[in-house]
Amino acid sequence: MARRYLIRKLLHAASTLLFVLAFNFGLFRILPGDPIALLTRSERLTPADIAALRAEYGLDRPLPTQFVDYLGDVLSGELGVSLRSGAPVSTLIGERLLPTMLLVGIGTLIAVALGLLIGIKGGWTRGSRFDRGSLYGSLILYSTPEGWLGMVLLIVFAGILGWFPTGGFDSGMHTGYARVVDVANHLFLPCATLALGYIGEYAIIMRASLLEVITEPYITTARAKGVPEREVRRRHAVPNAILPTFTLVLLSLGYVLGGAVVIESVFSWPGLGQLTYESIRHLDYPVIQAIFLVTSASVIVLNLVADVTYGFLDPRIRHA
């Protein structure tokens, strides 16, 4: 049964990825605007040069032919060349991957740790002052737009107080350990924005899951046997309640791996989100396609990991 469950999930992931490839290709072909025309506004090229550019990038071919070429390039690992800079798309993404991984990784870890702790304490002490306060706070954070929150932090801590830089990855003036400190200084505000934006979500899900678990018969049985409340929570309630949050964490990582576009734009953070914003502004089709493909593939892969892991942690899922 476990093998059938794994094969079913793999086939589902493969079919979803194929659909994403087709959708990704078609979506940016129906957007208004012509990337070559936009590119040539400042270049002042002749009609012959424009036709040569269309032929070079394959934009003069029928759509079915373009899709076949696109599919073959993706399968071979060739993501194309940027219309704006002429650089390989894989190089552009590689340059922006580390800042995004740094921002997303640290921000998500902080949000998960604090969100789980808040959700566990709030759910276990339901109705208490802490529970009510943390629930209201989580709802406020969950509903607050990340861009607005980032601008507030930027105005207060960078503009008024001057504690942190207004944007960028580093100042470019340090090396060694001093550069690490400089990068951490630039990272603080965007990381805090991302963490605050996700803490509420994790806390709400963890609290709801824990409230559902503590009504189960095995919790009542453990208490009837005289197991201390701390042990009931640690050994019985939390391990079972954390499963839905575990899935949410993996899915969230997949979504934000493409770059927190709004946050990176607010803080001029040179990651995939900023690259996405710049590419959309300039209708740089190859870069946009590659970023959306990387983002979609990361969501699909992490969703597969979550399904498989959840299935083995909870046998009821894979036997359903």
Does residue 85 surpass a pLDDT of 80?
Answer: no
Arithmetic mean of pLDDT, 14-25 = 82
81 within 8 A of 286, measured Cβ to Cβ: yes
- Percent helix, strand, coil in the chain, to 5, is 75, 0, 25
Arithmetic mean of pLDDT, 22-40 = 66
Comparing 35-39, 130-134, 167-171, 310-314, the range with the smallest average pLDDT is 35-39
- Residue 44: half-sphere exposure toward Cβ, Cα within 13 Å: 0
Does residue 16 surpass a pLDDT of 80?
Answer: yes
Q: What is the pLDDT of residue 114?
A: 92
Tokens of 113: 């740790």
Does residue 58 surpass a pLDDT of 80?
Answer: no
Tokens of 12: 């589902």
Arithmetic mean of pLDDT, 96-110 = 86
Does residue 202 surpass a pLDDT of 80?
Answer: yes
Q: What is the pLDDT of residue 56?
A: 67
Q: What is the pLDDT of residue 45?
A: 65
Does residue 21 surpass a pLDDT of 60?
Answer: yes
| CATH of the domain spanning 2-32+79-318 | 1.10.3720.10
Q: Domain extents for the chain?
A: 2-32+79-318
* Biggest distance spanned by C-alpha atoms of the chain: 86
Which of 180, 190, 202 shows the shortest CA–CA distance to 104?
A: 190
Arithmetic mean of pLDDT, 262-284 = 82
Tokens of 51: 């036709």
Report the chain's mean pLDDT, rounded to a whole number.
80
Q: Which residue has the higher pLDDT, 260 or 180?
A: 180
Percent of the chain at pLDDT above 90? 7
In order, the DSSP letters of 214-247 are: TTSHHHHHHHHTT--HHHIIIIIIHHHHHHHHHH
Residues 6+ apart with CB under 8 A from 249: 108, 112, 202
pLDDT tens per residue across span 216-253: 888 888 888 887 888 888 888 888 888 777 777 777 77
> What is the chain's Cα-based Rg?
24
